[in-house]
Amino acid sequence: MLFLSSFVVSSFLLVASVPIGNTGSHKPRTIPDHHGDVPLESLWAQFAPYTSAAPANKKYAVSSGCTINQVNLVQRHGSRYPTPNQNNAIKTAVENVQKVLPGDTVPEFKFLHAFDYPIKTDDAGNLTEIGKKESFESGQLQYSRYKHLMTGKSIFVHSSSIHRVQKSAEQWIEGVQTAKGWAQGDRIQSPKIIEKQPDEEAAAVVKTTYVNPWKKIYLPPIREALDKTLKVKLTNEDVYGLMFMCPFHTSMIREGDTSSKKLSPFCKIFTVDQFKDFAWQGALDKYYIGKSKYPSEYELSPLGYTKNLRTRLETSKESDIKFYADFSHDNEMAGIFNVLGLFRQKEDLSHEKRDDSSTYKVSRIVPFGTRMVVERLTCTSKPSGSKGKRSGGSIKDDSKEFVRVLVNDDVQPLEWCHGAKDGLCEVKEFIKGPK
């Protein structure tokens, strides 16, 4: 059976690093929207908006001879405002910087003189308009791919008890129903609410062991450089708050347009290299959260979810439920990915040095609105990569059940699955889990 290691929610205090350089010149340091072929959003770690991770030239397709008979979707809530604690810290940082800004400010900071902090206390932790749209568009996409499985009674939805997650589930349902145009009698039932379990103790371990040591390495140099540039004295928390505003304020000013490329002026304060440090802290956070132990086996934890997934994959094809949709959080999903042997690294991530060659890119693994889809397929002819049985010297292509996993549209190789190719793994092999 699937064995699991679970984990927990982490601290989200991300900051920038690396000296700003040429601090006396007051030259503009505006960063481009893209760094090479990589959007700036890819350096926002878990605070990045949803973007498909599939190669641009690769369209969604099902292997020849295979039919999907069950789908399991687990999805993170959409883009949100800062949580209450984050919001208080960021607002304080912005106001602290405004108080000490000299009148003759370098170009990247001039906007702060007339800037009114826009995030209301009542909005803290809730979905932005972008977040609502991300979930709605996900529902429309899933229906376009799996409409043969999606009638009102064939879809079962779970949601964490946290408000933004429930709203994401509701927006997803509306996306499906809008695409279908169902009559009232065929509507999807409201989500079953699963109480979110507390996990502060494990979060503190991750913060103390991995996050804080990295902050001590890269945060002081950027604070000192900003002090020189602005001729002021800031704190580490001030610097962190300014950088945090880049993704959150960007989500606000895009006003629900998921295709928008607008960037907050806060993004122009920092360099690409500093955002790489921002992203590395996110990588440390999610990588070690994914390997941590979760305090319980509730239904959306790595242990609880994977047990449910195993049970679902073993159910008869004649079951009434064909599509399971579970709405959760990035920490739980990082743990699920770890359990399933996804995004493995040759060695653990270092909290002393950034590794740009690492494939653990959080903006591609658990951005806002991230989704994992586990498809169960019946293949009547031998699909690419499977091993047919030999009978009298010829290949006998028995009908078999397979699993395919997609994370943010990208088919996962499941390299630990014996004989897997093109992402196809026999159900019985998948249920055993990675070694």
Residue 106: how many other CB atoms lie within 10 Å:
19
3-state class (DSSP) for residue 195? coil
| 330 in catalytic set | yes
Residues in the chain: 435
Cβ burial of 152 (10 Å; 0-12, 13-18, 19+) is middle
Cα–Cα dist 191/174, whole Å: 12
Amino acid at 428: K
3-state class (DSSP) for residue 255? coil
Cα–Cα dist 240/12, whole Å: 10
Alpha helix positions (H), 193-351: 200-206, 212-230, 236-253, 272-291, 302-314, 330-339
Label the pairing between strands 66-76 and 323-328. parallel
The two tokens of residue 389 are 């049985």
Q: Are 342 and 53 in contact (CB under 8 A)?
A: no
Cα–Cα dist 431/93, whole Å: 48
What are the C-alpha distances in Å from 349 to residues 42, 277, 355, 360, 380? 18, 13, 8, 9, 42
Q: Are 13 and 211 in contact (CB under 8 A)?
A: yes
User: Within 13 Å, how many C-alpha atoms sit on residue 238's CB side?
Assistant: 18
Label the pairing between strands 425-426 and 400-407. antiparallel
Q: Is 391 left (phi over 0), alpha (psi -120 to 50) or beta?
A: beta
| 422 in catalytic set | no
Alpha helix positions (H), 158-234: 163-180, 200-206, 212-230
**At a CB cut-off of 8 Å and minimum separation 6, what does 346 contact?**
none
User: Given 158, 238, 330, 351, which residue is catalytic?
Assistant: 330
**At a CB cut-off of 8 Å and minimum separation 6, what does 359 contact?**
343, 345
User: Given 77, 158, 249, 329, which residue is catalytic?
Assistant: 77
Q: What are the catalytic residues?
A: 77, 330
